[in-house]
């Protein structure tokens, strides 16, 4: 149980185009979904927190107009990188959580490798 999928697993795009990444919780309903970014040999950095039906909360330094997040249902969140540039090339990972009484475990997707040419 508690499987999170991401699609696509990798994508290569030209500079200036937009790319959409999907994150799905396959066998549970996710109260909250998170989007992280990981550059080579670096730690995962939280980009934004997304609750179903409400606007995402972005971390400091993350441009909300560039990284559009839509959390339309309890099983799907999407991240759209708009007007992508080479510096946006990274490994994007989502996670989903179900808020339990005291602790909540995050279940991570397999990640999406974005390469912007």
Which residue pairs from 96-99 have beta carbons closer than 8 angstroms and sit at least 24 positions apart in sequence? 96/4, 96/23, 96/25, 96/28, 96/30, 96/32, 96/33, 96/34, 97/30, 97/31, 97/32, 97/33, 97/34, 98/28, 98/29, 98/30, 98/31, 99/31, 99/32
Q: Does 69 bind other proteins (CB under 8 A)?
A: no
Among 17, 29, 42, 73, binds other proteins (CB under 8 A): 42
Give CA angle at 74 (105, 55), nearest 5°: 95
**How far is it, in rounded angstroms, from Cα 98 to Cα 29?**
7
| 67 near other proteins, judged by CB under 8 A | no
Among 3, 72, 99, 117, the residue binding other proteins under the rule CB under 8 A is 99
Residue 34 binding other proteins, by CB under 8 A? yes
Q: How far is the CB of 104 from other proteins (least distance, A)?
A: 5
- Count residues near other proteins (CB under 8 A): 30
The region of 13-21, 64-72, 79-87, 93-101 touching other proteins under the rule CB under 8 A is: 93-101
Residues engaged in binding other proteins (CB under 8 A): 4, 6, 31-32, 34, 36, 41-46, 49, 59, 91, 93, 95, 97, 99, 102-111, 113
């Amino acid at each position: 149980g508690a499987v999170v999928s991401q699609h696509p697993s990798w994508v290569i795009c030209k500079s200036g185009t937009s790319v959409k990444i999907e994150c799905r919780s396959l066998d549970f309903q996710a109260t909250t979904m998170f989007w992280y970014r990981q550059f080579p040999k670096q730690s995962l950095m939280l980009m934004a927190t997304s609750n179903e039906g409400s606007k995402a909360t972005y971390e400091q330094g993350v441009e909300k107009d560039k990284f559009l997040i839509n959390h339309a249902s309890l099983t799907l969140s999407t991240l759209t990188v708009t007007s992508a540039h080479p510096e946006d090339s990274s490994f994007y990972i989502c996670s989903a959580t179900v808020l339990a009484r005291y602790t909540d475990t995050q279940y991570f997707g397999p990640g999406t490798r974005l390469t912007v040419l």
